């Protein structure tokens, strides 16, 4: 089986920051919460498996990161709580770089 799935995930994350008393604005943070996923489409080779992908997914996200000035670096992990196809389950790892507006 070779299958790639594309989802839009909408997380609701609760974040705790720990600002450090330095001249640079540095704030380590941890976050966690649920996510809701909507299946867009799948690509790949599936041979006689009869895989039926469910249109929705639900799970949890946990992660940690640091904000330096307004630049955010984070690592997170999500775990699906609903099997997306029969007994198939999955988890995802993220590396995030962003800018706080």
Question: What's the pLDDT score for residue 21?
Answer: 79
pLDDT in tens, 56-101: 889 999 999 999 888 999 999 999 888 776 666 677 888 999 998 8
- Cα dihedral: 47, 51, 53, 57 (round 10): -110
Distant-in-sequence, close-in-space partners of 64: CB < 8 Å, separation ≥ 6: 28, 29, 30, 31, 74, 75, 76
Structural domains in the chain (count): 1
CA atoms within 13 A on the CB side of 100: 12
Please report the pLDDT score of residue 71 as a whole number.
Answer: 92
User: Which is more confident, 4 or 38?
Assistant: 38
> Domain span at residue 50?
2-99
């Amino acid at each position: 089986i070779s299958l790639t799935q594309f989802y839009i995930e909408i997380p609701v994350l609760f974040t705790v920051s720990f600002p450090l008393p330095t001249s640079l604005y540095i704030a380590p943070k941890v976050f966690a919460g649920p996510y809701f996923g909507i299946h867009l489409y799948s690509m790949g080779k599936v041979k006689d498996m009869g895989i039926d992908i469910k249109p929705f997914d639900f799970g949890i996200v946990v992660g940690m990161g640091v904000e330096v000035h307004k630049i955010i670096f984070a690592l997170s992990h999500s775990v699906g709580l609903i099997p997306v196809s029969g007994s198939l389950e999955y988890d995802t790892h993220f590396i995030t770089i962003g800018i706080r507006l």
